[in-house]
């Protein structure tokens, strides 16, 4: 058993896709800039070196996953846990960890109380 508050310490998440440089790039694309304009803007805002480093970390995380889950999965789990708690629901998350050297990601089931 593991307290939800200690979850990140024991099971860190892959947040490489949430680097500020990459998030900003995606925002600029949604605002209508083409990829070259968005990249140039990010280089000016963060420096080209920082943007390259963020991309390299993201690519490395995709090629050699070190983490069992990503930031979105973690935030979804916390959100559901808090919502259940606030509503008086006793559901608890049951995290199933992959075996070592397995490409499977962490799986979350909910035990209804």
The answer to whether 85 and 110 have CB atoms below 8 angstroms apart is no
* Coil, helix or strand at residue 34: coil
In a domain, 21, yes or no: yes
The rounded distance, in Å, linking the Cα atoms of 46 and 75 is 26
Does some domain include residue 26?
yes
Q: What is the DSSP letter of 16?
A: G
Mean pLDDT score, 7-23:
89
Range of the domain at 101: 10-111
Residue 1 lies in a domain: no
Cα distances (Å, whole numbers) of residue 7 to 1, 3, 95, 96: 10, 7, 10, 13
The reply to whether 55 falls in a domain is yes
Does 4 fall in a domain? Answer: no
C-alpha count within 13 angstroms, C-beta hemisphere, residue 23: 6
Structure tokens at 111: 């035990």
**Closest Cα partner for 73 from 23, 22, 17, 27?**
17
The per-residue pLDDT for range 56-90, each reduced to its tens digit, is: 999 988 887 777 788 888 899 899 989 988 998 88
Looking at the 3D structure of the chain, how many domains does it have?
1
pLDDT in tens, 25-60: 999 999 999 999 999 999 999 999 999 999 999 998
Helix 35-46 with 48-63: angle, nearest 10 deg: 110
In this structure, is residue 3 part of a structural domain? Answer: no
Other beta carbons less than 10 A from residue 54's beta carbon = 22
Q: Is residue 5 part of a domain?
A: no
Let me know if residue 42 belongs to a domain: yes
């Amino acid at each position: 058993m593991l307290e939800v508050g200690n979850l990140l310490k024991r099971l860190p998440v892959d947040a490489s896709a949430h680097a500020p440089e990459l998030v900003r790039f995606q925002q600029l694309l949604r605002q209508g800039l083409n990829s070259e304009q968005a990249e140039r803007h990010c280089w000016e805002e963060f420096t080209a070196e920082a943007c390259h480093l963020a991309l390299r970390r993201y690519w490395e995380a995709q090629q050699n996953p070190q983490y069992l889950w990503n930031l979105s999965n973690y935030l979804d789990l916390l959100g559901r846990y808090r919502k259940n708690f606030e509503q008086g629901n006793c559901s608890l998350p049951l995290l199933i960890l992959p075996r070592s050297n397995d490409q499977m990601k962490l799986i979350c089931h909910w035990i209804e109380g």
